[in-house]
Amino acid sequence: IPSSPEPASLPAEDVSTNSNGPRPAEVVLDDDREDLFAEATEEVSLDSPEREPILSSEPSPAVTPVTPTTLIAPRIESKSMSAPVIFDRSREEVWENVCDGMNAYMAYRVTTKTSLSMFSKSEFSVKRRFSDFLGLHSKLASKYLHVGYIVPPAPEKSIVGMTKVKVGKEDSSSTEFVEKRRAALERYLQRTVKHPTLLQDPDLRQFLESSELPRAVNTQALSGAGILRMVNKAADAVNKMTIKMNESDAWFEEKQQQFENLDQQLRKLHASVEALVCHRKELSANTAAFAKSAAMLGNSEDHTALSRALSQLAEVEEKIDQLHQEQAFADFYMFSELLSDYIRLIAAVKGVFDHRMKCWQKWEDAQITLLKKREIEAKMMVANKPDKIQQAKNEIREWEAKVQQGERDFEQISKTIRKEVGRFEKERVKDFKTVIIKYLESLVQTQQQVSSFFITYFITYKLLLELWCTFSF
């Protein structure tokens, strides 16, 4: 924190670039003078304790829950909701590399804090592997997707990223990968837990609570991508049936179109944000390189004051490089990942709509079959075959029940989807608003830091200027 008594003055307008010869730096006095210093002292610390992977298979040592920066983990606020008063928060924290005989795998610690009575404790932790998460998702999907519930998709499998980590490659890209995965798993769990119906599911409870979990087998087909493929296949099958569904409810058609548009736009935005992340990382690298060369130039410079000024500039640029890196993190974890999460969520929504179509088709088919059975009955009556008539009557009863069931199922799934979409949209609005605000706050912080660096630079520079003027060389 600079303690210079003399405030640096700022020009209120554009500095003229056209002067002949040297020009002194002080110009118009700025009303913001006080503000300048307020900003300079308001230094937000972006340092946090480093996360360290523990390379042992010992059971849970007490580890401080930590995130790389306070900006990254979008955790649910533990606000009690209006009614009923429940709070349940599951939180991913430390991960560790576990060596289990032949296979090395990454274990993630899942910590839950809850006040719900269905859980035996109010706070508990378990260790889970990535495949466990996929297993959970597949169970939930198989139970709830086809009746119209929007089951949040699990994160994608990534062969390349995971291999590097398993091989024990301790570089920044593998750390980054694990952090990306950890955050994704956390968001996945938190979304799942927020769903009131899914929360009641025993498989979910078991996942959160029990210390031992039976290993999920055949998770190949059960990853998020796997489910997506299943959903898409179902959608294709549905389309191939060329269902001309009499959409009695315009709401569904409207919503489907809406989600289709949303999907397209989110994908576009996501692609652009990925480019932003990439370029910000480049900017950071280039700034660091420039800082080094500015320092070298400062060393060469034989005019003392100028040499100092250049070294100062190099220092400022180095700090700014750090900022760029952190901003790139925020760009990614807040903005980019939110978008990719929603792209996959919307795929799940589309899947649910498709299931409704299938349901309708089933009902329709039952009605057609019933009609056929009735025709058979009529034929039998004309042909006067009493035993066949009885059989026909039985089948009619059977198919009447099926038609009724079909209608009930269809109405149920339609009702569920309406509710689900309503809930989903509410969540989406909240999610986006929260993240947008967080993201903007991160941008504000960055800019404030930049300001404070240059203010310090000014103050030092002003002192240098005195030196400069007193001694010409």
| Residue list 288-317, contact with other proteins (CB under 8 A) | 289-290, 292-294, 296-297, 299-303, 306, 309-310, 313
Separation of alpha carbons 324 and 289, rounded Å: 13
What CA–CA distances, in Å, run from 117 to 79, 129, 192, 210?
18, 27, 18, 16
| Contact positions with other proteins (CB under 8 A) in 395-414 | none
Residues 445 to 464 in contact with other proteins, rule: CB under 8 A = 447-448, 450-451, 454-455, 457-458, 461
Instruction: State which residue, 176 or 425, has the beta carbon closest to other proteins.
Output: 425
Provide the 3-class DSSP secondary structure of residue 214: coil
> Which segment (120-128, 153-161, 283-291, 369-377) binds other proteins by CB under 8 A?
283-291
The residue type of 63 is V
Out of 66, 167, 243, 444, point to the residue binding other proteins (CB under 8 A).
444
Selected from 78, 441, 466, 471, the binder of other proteins by CB under 8 A is 441
- The region of 147-155, 184-192, 225-233, 442-450 touching other proteins under the rule CB under 8 A is 442-450
Q: Does residue 427 touch other proteins according to CB under 8 A?
A: no
Helix pair 224-240, 130-144: axis angle to 10 deg: 30
Binding residues among 1-60 for other proteins as defined by CB under 8 A: 10-11, 15-23, 25, 32
Q: What's 54's DSSP letter? A: B
- Compare residues 360 and 439 and give the one whose CB is closer to other proteins: 439
Q: Is 343 in the site for other proteins (CB under 8 A)?
A: no
Residue 469: which H helix or E strand, with range? helix 386-470
SS3 88: strand
Nearest-approach distance from CB 453 to other proteins, in angstroms: 9
Q: Looking at beta carbons only, is 50 or 77 nearer to other proteins?
A: 77
Closer to other proteins by Cβ: residue 277 or 392: 277
Nearest distance from residue 84's CB to other proteins, in Å? 24
Q: CA-to-CA distance for 1 and 145, rounded, in angstroms?
A: 57
Minimum Å gap between C-beta 287 and other proteins is 6
Quick check: 124 and 93 in contact, CB under 8 A? no
Among residues 443, 466, 467, 471, which is the contact residue for other proteins, using CB under 8 A? 443
Residues 200-259 that bind other proteins (CB under 8 A): 258
CB 365 within 8 A of CB 405: no
69 closest CA partner among 96, 52, 42, 49: 49
Could you give the CA distance from residue 356 to residue 249 in angstroms, rounded to a whole number? Answer: 12
- Confirm or reject binding of residue 275 to other proteins (CB under 8 A): yes
Tell me the number of residues near other proteins by CB under 8 A: 71
Say if residue 84 is preceded by a cis peptide, omega within 30 of 0.
Answer: yes
Strand, coil or helix: what is 218? coil
Compare residues 13 and 171 and give the one whose CB is closer to other proteins: 13
- For other proteins, the closer CB: 119 or 290: 290
With tokens 């039976």, the residue in question is 214
Of 4 and 158, CB closest to other proteins: 4
Strands 103-114 and 123-129, by their bridges, are: antiparallel
DSSP states along 3-30: --SSPPP--SSPPPS--SS---S--S--
Q: Which is nearer to other proteins, 143 or 462 (CB)?
A: 462
Minimum CB distance to other proteins, residue 27 (Å): 9
Of 416 and 460, which has the nearer Cβ to other proteins?
Answer: 460
Among 46, 98, 199, 262, interactor with other proteins by CB under 8 A: 262
Distance of alpha carbon 142 from alpha carbon 151, whole angstroms = 10
- Region near other proteins per CB under 8 A, out of 61-69, 72-80, 90-98, 273-281: 273-281
Q: What is the 3-state secondary structure (H, E, C) of 151-187?
A: CCCCCCCCHHHHHHHHCCCCCHHHHHHHHHHHHHHHH
